[in-house]
A = this chain, B = another copy of it.
């Protein structure tokens, strides 16, 4: 029997040699991995930048997520933040720290997940660099880049009274998937999670391999979106952020929010949708997958059918973690 190949037994340079060929190439790459830094095209003289760290325990459970799922999600969540500015994702850099006994197959599958996520969600975007470290706690840090194609960024601050509030992507399904996973076993359990994937494929996939509508970010900007953000903490919480930044209120229609939601009771409060919330001037045809769910009105905060809405408190990484890793 041969010894399993691990990060510790192979060493950094051999691990990198195994991973690099699996990573997706970036069309915008001018100089790729292998030097002190990469060089990426920024055609209009600006670059959009977002960074996000995923930590084993608070952000994912290895009993539920495969390495491929983690690579996919690391790409998807960052691509979504680029899209939310109205930009086209161009490239990622990926830093990963893993226990020294982590098998090379885990890292290879993680790289495949990055590749498949980029190919499926934002063709042409790829990985231009990264860093490998050892840690007792599996940790993934992705920084993503985007191109505004000469347009102004779509921030959270531009919504105007009378604008249409619209959303692209699913609402509530990711939270439904998480609730199902937590309910499936007393502690994170791989067999229970596998059974759930068969019984509730859409909800579990929304939680473990989200498919944010990346191309709709650019489409929204081109259509004249006045404000936009990525739904990470739940529609109500994120709508409140957009309302505050724009000094307006968002009046949502309960029927329209629920329509097409996989889990209507979670559509307002469920996190991790990675859908796009945007506001558009009245009277324009909504682009891509956007559907109207409300109206921008004077005031502050979030209303549902004209009544102030008090969301459940959202996910706070410092308050919401129970410490069980799994």
Contact = CB atoms under 8 A, between A and B. Distances in A.
Contact-residue size bin, chain A (C-beta under 8 Å from the other chain):
35 or more
B100 A146 contact: no
A92 to B, nearest CB: 10
A137 B134 contact: no
A318 B135 contact: no
A36 B318 contact: no
Contacts of A317: 12, 132-134
Contacts of A134: 55, 58, 317-318, 321
Given A316-B11, A317-B134, A318-B15, A139 B97 contact: yes
A131 interface: yes
A45 interface: yes
Closest 6 CB pairs of A and B: A42-B42, A141-B141, A37-B50, A137-B137, A36-B84, A143-B143
Given A37-B84, A51-B131, 8 more contacts: A12-B319, A35-B85, A41-B45, A51-B94, A57-B135, A59-B133, A135-B137, A137-B139
23 contacts: A6-B318, A8-B318, A12-B316, A13-B316, A35-B153, A35-B156, A36-B229, A37-B49, A37-B81, A37-B153, A39-B85, A39-B153, A42-B45, A44-B45, A51-B143, A52-B95, A52-B131, A53-B95, A53-B133, A133-B317, A134-B318, A136-B136, A136-B137
